[in-house]
Amino acid sequence: SINPNAALLFYWMELERQIRIEGRIEKLSKEESLEYFNSRPLDSRYGALASSQSEIIPDREYLEKKFSELKEKYGDNPPMPDNWGGFILKPVLFEFWQGRPNRLHDRIVYEKKESNWNIYRLSP
């Protein structure tokens, strides 16, 4: 079975801080993906169109040639690749962690239960 749950973690070692976000993943609609694709820089859109991600290619020249050919073909309006799309994480939990001396770190959690956000502190 497919597990729709995921977590994101952002860690800043120099600041001794991190944020963990948990939630459910949902695939963006074709319309939402297209809107995001078209908001990206033009060369990034061409990069997505030129690259069949993770496929073996003969050399860098092959990729650069494909990129140039697509730019010549489509100008300022490249189409979104058929296999291109996005996912969104719908959060149900945020944990803010702040490192402290003697391992007495701060851990503050915001957790969504139904339509309310509960806030509590965890022991380190």
For residue 103, indicate whether it is catalytic: yes
Which of 17, 40, 100, 103 is labelled catalytic?
103
Quick one: 36 exposed, middle or buried, by C-beta within 10 A (0-12, 13-18, 19+)?
middle
The rounded distance, in Å, linking the Cα atoms of 60 and 110 is 46
The count of residues in the chain is 124
Strand partners, 94: 21, 110
3-state secondary structure of 13: helix
| Beta strands across the sheet bearing 87-98 | 5-12, 17-27, 87-98, 106-113, 116-121
Q: Which residues are catalytic?
A: 103
